[in-house]
Structure 1
């Protein structure tokens, strides 16, 4: 008998225990969710990650007043939560984090068989001239989806098209996929051109790439703060000059030297912990690792500190956010919508980035991990 033939999680788990001659008691104990809320096949239970809290941290936008947020982070890395918390303390004692976001759109990038350059460029012209029909074909698939725009490239016998969609409170990859399939049906009917692959890698889904870095994907975020000179010394235990030197050598020069797409210290660390806590698609941590940190010593000795994450793919509904335990973690943030949830993440990333660069400049990284990452 195969695992897929069992209808109940418990029976699959018992079958596997017997076959492998092992006990899965902890996996059984961790299984608390209703199977109806779980998207996953051959289910035998659940695994867990430790959940910690940082903050509150003070955050504001260009349009809103300061709010305080607690931030849930799931990780097995000792010292990470303590480090982000220290960054939050430095921010709070200096003022707040100012966050700005821009909706770029969830993308899907199919590749079409256009045989030659002439047909390829004709096809792009056809899309431009018939964009109203394309919009209608996309938006009929969901009342929560809005077609935004397209970009296209011709390479030999192939034409790559990157469609952008606004997907309301969802991260929206399924919505974008269904909308693009509807567009493809329209294209086939009107032009006879065949879609070779619904995802032709031009969407740059779950992959690092300059297109996502430069054009953005999902939501682009910027955040900044000014850390007072005395707070750099009292909380971060270093100086603005030392942080600047580490930032220049590590984030800028070394990133250029090694060809990195992330001109940052560790965006992925905080993005991964936040995504795991709140039920996001973990593979989109790849896009969350993209970004750049900027810092500058001001004339009064204070430290200006800023981050930019161009491609954040996360949502408030759908996918793993359906799980009750993830819903509770999202509630901790008190975020009322997807944009606010992104703003909370931005504050956490900035705090974590600031604290790590300070630790490196202070020379305390190994000591912190020895103390908090070992038992």
Structure 2
């Protein structure tokens, strides 16, 4: 095997390319060589980037041209009691972020939820989507393709499910725009987030469509899925898991734990999350759901770019005779407990903390439970921020914590 300095020199001389280093050395030596090359060419000190606690080979399926790790501080909130369809009991929720005061705020919401007996959460719908786009001659042909697809979902399911031992095709919905035909496939991917699974399965189904209809595949993803982009279809139809969480806080607990009143939180939610979001043309009607989702995604090894879809969250608040009712509904939370980044050492440990790492029994139950706990965490964050805004404590809280 070649040492790191020699490898770096061979790259500088043009003999090797960055992505070829693992062919000549073990993954850790290859990463060291890249750091030395970058340090020599940029003057950067990469000693902290290179100080990571696992073998670089463990990240082989997650990264190319590895130089080290980006270490984001991780904290924890809890215990957070969740009465879910899959999650049950008290949970500590690890969150990774660089935003000071975020965990303190979420933990305050968790405390309020805990004194009320916990949050209730349910996964309402589950389905990972992929929507290829086909071209046809004209609208008559588009109608023919759409009709054929509706009548032969069983054939498409056989082709798609033949590529995986876990995924199940739930439905295929045709959409036409002139000479374009989009087919939105939806899969039950069990405990996997399932994007790759859905892509591979859909490719097999597309071969059937092309062989049996006049449609010609243009792109395996036609953006009607819609992945990692703001899209109303995900806010309406859902993608990944649609999950809700709610809680009823007695009025006295609102005052004691959140330092405000039920009426003040209701007004802040209406004017900010509902009216303000509507005026802005937002797809998410919430205070900062993406804050908790992003921190959870980083901690649990989820695809961070899919925070975009997770932000499709609606927060509702009502004043009831016996307390403040608050809920969050995350229409498109894309999470998994197997595959992707969930197997990385740090993220695997975080999943152990929350209690839902790996495959569930029955399949899909662990990912459902994780979604429910994240939703309850989002609810805690919404309550705390709305309380801070309604009591005008937001800036003073940041100042007090030195953030």
TM-score interval w.r.t. the shorter chain? Answer: over 0.9
Note if contact 1:33-1:323 (Cα within 8 Å) is conserved in structure 2. no
User: Secondary structure of 1:260's match?
Assistant: coil
Structure 1 unmatched ranges of 5 or more: none
The answer for the alignment partner of 1:362 in structure 2 is: 391
The answer for the alignment partner of 2:5 in structure 1 is: none
Question: How far is the alpha carbon of 1:192 from its aligned partner?
Answer: 4.7
Which of 365, 371, 374 is residue 400 of structure 2 equivalent to? 371
Note if contact 2:108-2:257 (Cα within 8 Å) is conserved in structure 1. yes
C-alpha separation in 2, matches of 1:220 and 1:48: 30
Note if contact 1:104-1:217 (Cα within 8 Å) is conserved in structure 2. yes
User: Secondary structure of 2:225's match?
Assistant: coil
Which of 57, 79, 84 is residue 80 of structure 2 equivalent to? 57
C-alpha separation in 2, matches of 1:313 and 1:97: 21
Question: How far is the alpha carbon of 1:31 from its aligned partner?
Answer: 5.8
Note if contact 1:58-1:95 (Cα within 8 Å) is conserved in structure 2. yes
C-alpha separation in 2, matches of 1:332 and 1:248: 35
* Cα deviation 1:233-276 (Å, max 9, x = unaligned): 11100000111111111001111111011110000000000000
How do 1:327-366 residues align onto structure 2 when only pairs under 5 Å count? 327-335=348-356, 337-366=366-395
Say if 2:305 is the partner of 1:291. no
C-alpha separation in 2, matches of 1:144 and 1:36: 24
Say if 2:333 is the partner of 1:304. no
Note if contact 1:262-1:290 (Cα within 8 Å) is conserved in structure 2. yes
Note if contact 2:78-2:93 (Cα within 8 Å) is conserved in structure 1. yes
How do 1:218-367 residues align onto structure 2 when only pairs under 5 Å count? 218-300=240-322, 302-335=323-356, 337-367=366-396
How do 1:111-130 residues align onto structure 2 when only pairs under 5 Å count? 111-130=133-152
The answer for the alignment partner of 1:48 in structure 2 is: 71
Which of 32, 39, 55 is residue 17 of structure 1 equivalent to? 39
Moved over 4 A (4+): 63-66
How do 1:61-80 residues align onto structure 2 when only pairs under 5 Å count? 61=84, 67-80=89-102
Note if contact 1:278-1:321 (Cα within 8 Å) is conserved in structure 2. yes
* Cα deviation 1:74-101 (Å, max 9, x = unaligned): 0111111011100011011112101111
* Cα deviation 1:108-146 (Å, max 9, x = unaligned): 011001121000010011112221110000000000110
Equivalenced residues, count: 372
CA 1:122/1:133 → structure 2, altered by over 3 Å: closer, same or farther?
same
Note if contact 1:73-1:274 (Cα within 8 Å) is conserved in structure 2. yes
C-alpha separation in 2, matches of 1:23 and 1:66: 46
User: Aligned Cα RMSD in Å?
Assistant: 1.4
* Cα deviation 1:323-347 (Å, max 9, x = unaligned): 0110000111012511111111011
Note if contact 1:134-1:186 (Cα within 8 Å) is conserved in structure 2. yes
C-alpha separation in 1, matches of 2:129 and 2:278: 27
TM-score for the superposition, normalised by structure 1: 0.96
C-alpha separation in 2, matches of 1:36 and 1:196: 36
CA 1:40/1:96 → structure 2, altered by over 3 Å: closer, same or farther?
same
The answer for the alignment partner of 2:4 in structure 1 is: none
Q: After the TM superposition, which of the residue ranges 357-366 and 15-24 deviates more from structure 2? A: 15-24
Note if contact 1:97-1:347 (Cα within 8 Å) is conserved in structure 2. yes
C-alpha separation in 1, matches of 2:252 and 2:377: 22
Note if contact 1:33-1:324 (Cα within 8 Å) is conserved in structure 2. no
Say if 2:113 is the partner of 1:91. yes
Question: How far is the alpha carbon of 1:65 from its aligned partner?
Answer: 9.0
User: Secondary structure of 1:24's match?
Assistant: coil
Structure 2 unmatched ranges of 5 or more: 1-13, 23-29, 361-365
Q: After the TM superposition, which of the residue ranges 24-33 and 286-295 deviates more from structure 2? A: 24-33
Q: After the TM superposition, which of the residue ranges 16-25 and 219-228 deviates more from structure 2? A: 16-25
User: Secondary structure of 2:50's match?
Assistant: helix
Question: How far is the alpha carbon of 1:297 from its aligned partner?
Answer: 0.6
C-alpha separation in 2, matches of 1:356 and 1:350: 10
Question: How far is the alpha carbon of 1:161 from its aligned partner?
Answer: 0.9
